[in-house]
Amino acid sequence: MTATASLADRVVAGEQAAIARLLTRIERRSPGVDEVISALVRRAGRAHVVGVTGPPGGGKSTLVSALAAQYRRAGRTVGIIAVDPSSVLSGGAILGDRIRMSALAGDAGVFIRSIATRGAPGGLPRAALDAVTTLDAAGKDVVVLETVGVGQAEVDVITAAQTVAVVSVPGMGDAVQASKAGLLEVADVHVVNKSDRDGAARTVAELTDMLRLAPPAPGQWQVPVVSTVAATGEGVGDLIERFDGHRAWLADSGEGQRRARRTTAARIRWIAEQLVADRLRAGHPDFDRAVDEVTERGGDPVAAARRLVQRGLGAGAEDAAAGSDPPDSDPAGSDPEGSARR
Amino acid sequence: MTATASLADRVVAGEQAAIARLLTRIERRSPGVDEVISALVRRAGRAHVVGVTGPPGGGKSTLVSALAAQYRRAGRTVGIIAVDPSSVLSGGAILGDRIRMSALAGDAGVFIRSIATRGAPGGLPRAALDAVTTLDAAGKDVVVLETVGVGQAEVDVITAAQTVAVVSVPGMGDAVQASKAGLLEVADVHVVNKSDRDGAARTVAELTDMLRLAPPAPGQWQVPVVSTVAATGEGVGDLIERFDGHRAWLADSGEGQRRARRTTAARIRWIAEQLVADRLRAGHPDFDRAVDEVTERGGDPVAAARRLVQRGLGAGAEDAAAGSDPPDSDPAGSDPEGSARR
């Protein structure tokens, strides 16, 4: 228990090296990380978690930098988690963006980390949620979750946020706007960034018209459209006011509690999905028999899967170990990647 | 049983409308689709399933068109499944490419379909595999599975293929080559497309050098590097010879059987993962209690997920229905999207 508890304690104390180390473990799904997150979930819940999403090319990284700088000027501490879905091929692109955030580099009140995962289903959204929980438990006032809105996993990531900003840029055209439907549904605030460009007024008008088609019921949130020029900081103060307004509405309306429940449901579902995937990947004996049956003897794969799930996949070696806390084997501070990748 | 069996029978008879209708149902995960696929799995296994993957911009669509045309000239029938991972945002991009395949448009020996899914984990790879099984059972001699190699789900898709071609283009640079590691591992054949461009010889040399670092053991497959200019058809005949050579090696070496087993394992795993996800999404009573416990009373989410999986998630309404075949409710031929989206 000691080593695990102490990593959680050190994260809660805001120790940068401990935070970096835990984030690396989350990304790698290292043994024992689940227990640390379980301990932190109970100690999180104070931060305002803001999601910033939208298609590539919207200047999201610059906007997130500008938000962080503005929050810092107001005396609030900030954590940034940038989810990198394309790392399989373009590894480092977002990390490159991070380097441009050098204005924030020496500031201990800002923690920046880009995360990527490969592997089990739910891996990326779950890692993002665990990373948010880590920075929340570490005492950051605001946690900004930046994600490119491409693919279901990346859209799922936004489930971890309390307030979601969808970033558009002028002149993207009607077809693109329409196909963004998956993201538009989740917007609490629309941002038209690069609003000094031609066509900005038209994009704002299009979004406003679209929102007018489904006006909020009394007491519901009115989604605003905010114009920004992230590169100069224009409109960023206004944007933060809208975020704060949304947070106040979440608390007053009870919607905040509903979203917390939704986030918990997603968390448990992702953990359960990963457990099933891990057990089947590891070669559960019932699973191996099912594969033989279907491959060699023309068995029904759907019936086989149904039997596996119905029977439960428990009582593996992993469960036997789950009662006791696994030792936290690598000595404190030895994580080679933890601080380097911040 | 009748309606379900008849859709499977009509697919096996090669009826285009039935194939289109089933593919739409696969994409939507319509009720009853599992039973149709189970029936088709037993009747598939004759086609050569070729995966074509690689980063965006490699000219994969053009290459797949050229492959299809060449296969047709040799009298072989072809099915093409193009997996569109970015449809959430760029919906229609790949479909647009398909339209450029108009040279093949009037040919009943070619069936082309672009598929995309949102939703449960494993959704995209599973839909791709089910689509491949459909075209295989429908009697296509070759099924080409085209996928952009971005993201884990898209890499997983390739599990459905027997022979995997990874497409590179000249001048992509060392960094990109290195970061493609996730794809390079799965290549049975390397294709350098657009090989009339500057730098083609260097890209071929780099790939050849890389392959030389890990020479195959005796009896193992020697991964070739093939140069093509898809736009003119240059090298496409040679590429098909390599595919055929790989297929013969699969049969002779026993590797084909090993891959069939791997594909079955992935299929059962994806079905099991979706079953778990569906049941948790639908609000399983044990799940709802777990969410309450964690949200309201600071319970441990990892322990909650572990209990859910261990206990098994069976005996829902879905399982009660699984014994009997669900009625195939929409009348034959009524699928509005089926043929339009081909």
User: Distance of CA B231 to CAs A268, A300, B60, B62, Å?
Assistant: 49, 42, 10, 6
C-alpha–C-alpha distance, residues A257 and B34, integer Å: 37
Mode of pairing for the β-strands spanning B48-54 and A142-148: unpaired
Contacts of B176 in chain A (CB under 8 A): 89-90
User: Distance of CA B261 to CAs A293, B189, B257, Å?
Assistant: 10, 21, 6
Cβ neighbours for B33, distance < 8 A, ≥ 6 positions apart: B22, B25, B26, B130
Contacts of A313 in chain B (CB under 8 A): 309-310, 312
pLDDT tens per residue, range A206-265: 889 888 888 899 989 999 999 999 999 999 999 999 999 999 999 999 999 999 998 999
* B76 has a pLDDT exceeding 90: yes
Residue A279: strand, helix, or coil: helix
* A329 has a pLDDT exceeding 60: no
Is residue B341 in some structural domain?
no
Q: Mean pLDDT over residues A143-160, rounded?
A: 76
Is residue A153 in some structural domain?
yes
Q: Mean pLDDT over residues A105-131, rounded?
A: 77
Cα–chain center distance at B174: 28
Is residue B282 in some structural domain?
no
* A332 has a pLDDT exceeding 50: no
| A291/B85 touch (CB, cutoff 8 Å), yes or no | no
H or E, element range at A265: helix A255-281
Strand partners, A48: A142
| A92/B182 touch (CB, cutoff 8 Å), yes or no | no
Structure tokens at A78: 């900030």
Q: Mean pLDDT over residues B41-67, rounded?
A: 89
C-alpha–C-alpha distance, residues A263 and B291, integer Å: 9
C-alpha–C-alpha distance, residues B323 and B329, integer Å: 17
- Report the residue of chain A nearest B180, measured CA to CA: A89
pLDDT tens per residue, range B231-285: 999 999 999 999 999 999 999 999 999 999 989 998 998 888 888 877 777 777 8
Q: Among B151, B187, B179, B150, which Cα is nearest to B51's?
A: B187
H or E, element range at A78: strand A78-83
H or E, element range at A256: helix A255-281
> Which ranges of chain B does DSSP label H, i.e. alpha helix?
2-12, 16-28, 33-41, 60-73, 87-90, 93-99, 123-137, 152-157, 174-179, 181-184, 200-212, 236-253, 255-281, 285-297, 301-311, 317-322
Question: What does the pLDDT read at residue A272?
Answer: 85
pLDDT tens per residue, range B323-338: 333 333 333 333 333 3
H or E, element range at A112: strand A110-115
Most confident of A56-70, A280-294, B155-169, B213-227: B213-227
Q: What is the DSSP letter of B112?
A: E
* B176 has a pLDDT exceeding 70: no
Cα–chain center distance at A164: 11
Q: What is the DSSP letter of B80?
A: E
Residues 223-252 of B with CB under 8 A from A: none
Question: What does the pLDDT read at residue B180?
Answer: 53
Q: Order of strands across the sheet with A163-168? A: A110-115, A78-83, A142-148, A48-54, A163-168, A189-192, A225-227
| A312/B315 touch (CB, cutoff 8 Å), yes or no | no
Question: What does the pLDDT read at residue A327?
Answer: 37
Q: How confident is the model at residue A150 (pLDDT cuts 50, 70, 90)?
A: low
- Quote the ipTM score: 0.73
Indicate left, alpha or beta for A151 from its phi (over 0: left) and psi (-120 to 50: alpha).
left
Report chain A's mean pLDDT, rounded to a whole number: 79
Q: Mean pLDDT over residues A326-337, rounded?
A: 38
Is residue A4 in some structural domain?
no
Question: What does the pLDDT read at residue B307?
Answer: 86
| B302, B310, B324: best to mutate for the A interface, most A CBs within 10 A | B302
* B319 has a pLDDT exceeding 80: no
Q: Mean pLDDT over residues A35-60, rounded?
A: 89
Most confident of A73-87, A173-187, A260-274: A260-274
* CATH at B237: 3.40.50.300
Range name among A174-183, A311-320, B268-277, B320-329 with the lowest pLDDT average: B320-329
Q: How confident is the model at residue A323 (pLDDT cuts 50, 70, 90)?
A: very low
C-alpha–C-alpha distance, residues B283 and B129, integer Å: 28
Instruction: Report the 10 Å Cβ neighbour count for B4.
Output: 19
Q: What's the burial of A105, exposed, middle or buried (CB within 10 Å: 0-12/13-18/19+)?
A: exposed
Q: Mean pLDDT over residues A39-51, rounded?
A: 93
Better pLDDT: A106 or B40: B40
B89 touches chain A (CB under 8 A): yes
* B30 has a pLDDT exceeding 80: yes
Contacts of B122 in chain A (CB under 8 A): 121
Contacts of A38 in chain B (CB under 8 A): 300-303
Range name among A9-18, A222-231, B98-107, B159-168 with the lowest pLDDT average: B98-107
Residue type, A15: E
B108 touches chain A (CB under 8 A): no
Contacts of B277 in chain A (CB under 8 A): 121, 269, 273
Q: What is the DSSP letter of A142?
A: E
C-alpha–C-alpha distance, residues B185 and B8, integer Å: 35
Q: Mean pLDDT over residues B19-31, rounded?
A: 90
Q: Among A201, A227, A152, which Cα is nearest to B154's?
A: A152
Residue pair B203/B172 in contact (Cβ under 8 Å)? The answer is yes
Cβ neighbours for B146, distance < 8 A, ≥ 6 positions apart: B51, B52, B53, B60, B61, B64, B80, B81, B82, B83
* A336 has a pLDDT exceeding 60: no
> Which ranges of B138-185 does DSSP label H, i.e. alpha helix?
152-157, 174-179, 181-184
* B166 has a pLDDT exceeding 80: yes
- Per-residue b or e along B165-197, where b marks 16 or more CB atoms closer than 10 Å to that residue's CB: bbbbbbebeeeeeebbebbbebbbbbbbbbbee
| Residue ranges making up the domain that contains A185 | 45-253
Question: What does the pLDDT read at residue A306?
Answer: 86
Is residue B224 in some structural domain?
yes
A89 touches chain B (CB under 8 A): yes
Contacts of B117 in chain A (CB under 8 A): 152
* A51 has a pLDDT exceeding 90: yes
* A192 has a pLDDT exceeding 70: yes
B13 touches chain A (CB under 8 A): no
| A152/B308 touch (CB, cutoff 8 Å), yes or no | no
User: Distance of CA B205 to CAs B209, B220, B224, B227, Å?
Assistant: 6, 22, 12, 11
Q: How confident is the model at residue A317 (pLDDT cuts 50, 70, 90)?
A: very low
* B223 has a pLDDT exceeding 90: yes
Q: Mean pLDDT over residues B285-294, rounded?
A: 87
B58 touches chain A (CB under 8 A): no
Question: What does the pLDDT read at residue A55?
Answer: 75
User: Distance of CA B104 to CAs A129, B70, B78, Å?
Assistant: 46, 11, 11
| B268/A294 touch (CB, cutoff 8 Å), yes or no | yes
| B273/A121 touch (CB, cutoff 8 Å), yes or no | yes
Range name among A75-84, B43-52, B158-167, B314-323 with the lowest pLDDT average: B314-323
Is residue A298 in some structural domain?
no
Instruction: Report the 10 Å Cβ neighbour count for B342.
Output: 18
Q: How far is B173 from chain A (nearest CA, A)?
A: 12
Instruction: Report the 10 Å Cβ neighbour count for A324.
Output: 8
C-alpha–C-alpha distance, residues B117 and A313, integer Å: 27
| A268/B280 touch (CB, cutoff 8 Å), yes or no | yes
Residue pair A276/A313 in contact (Cβ under 8 Å)? The answer is yes
| B182/A319 touch (CB, cutoff 8 Å), yes or no | no
Contacts of A42 in chain B (CB under 8 A): 298
B306 touches chain A (CB under 8 A): yes
pLDDT tens per residue, range A283-305: 778 888 888 888 888 889 989 88
A322 touches chain B (CB under 8 A): yes
Q: Among B287, B203, B192, B202, which Cα is nearest to B242's?
A: B192
Question: What does the pLDDT read at residue B40?
Answer: 94
H or E, element range at A250: helix A236-253
Q: Among A118, A88, A90, A281, which Cα is nearest to B182's?
A: A88
A319 touches chain B (CB under 8 A): yes
Residues 281-300 of A with CB under 8 A from B: 281, 287, 290-292, 294-295, 298, 300
- Per-residue b or e along B123-156, where b marks 16 or more CB atoms closer than 10 Å to that residue's CB: bbbbbbbbbbbbbbbbbbbbbbbbbbbbbbbbbb
The two counts, helices (H) then strands (E), for chain A are 16, 7
Residue pair A279/A290 in contact (Cβ under 8 Å)? The answer is no
When divided into structural domains, chain A yields a total of 1
Question: What does the pLDDT read at residue B169?
Answer: 81
* A9 has a pLDDT exceeding 50: yes
Range name among A99-103, A220-224, B214-218 with the lowest pLDDT average: A99-103
Q: Among B158, B14, B127, B22, which Cα is nearest to B78's?
A: B14
C-alpha–C-alpha distance, residues A121 and A226, integer Å: 35
Most confident of A27-41, B75-89, B125-139: B125-139
Residue pair B194/B170 in contact (Cβ under 8 Å)? The answer is yes
CB pairs under 8 A between A and B: 227
Residue A82: strand, helix, or coil: strand
Is residue A9 in some structural domain?
no
Report chain B's mean pLDDT, rounded to a whole number: 79
Is residue B262 in some structural domain?
yes
B123 touches chain A (CB under 8 A): yes
DSSP codes of every residue in B254-279: SHHHHHHHHHHHHHHHHHHHHHHHHH
User: Angle of helix B123-137 relative to helix B255-281, nearest 10 degrees?
Assistant: 130
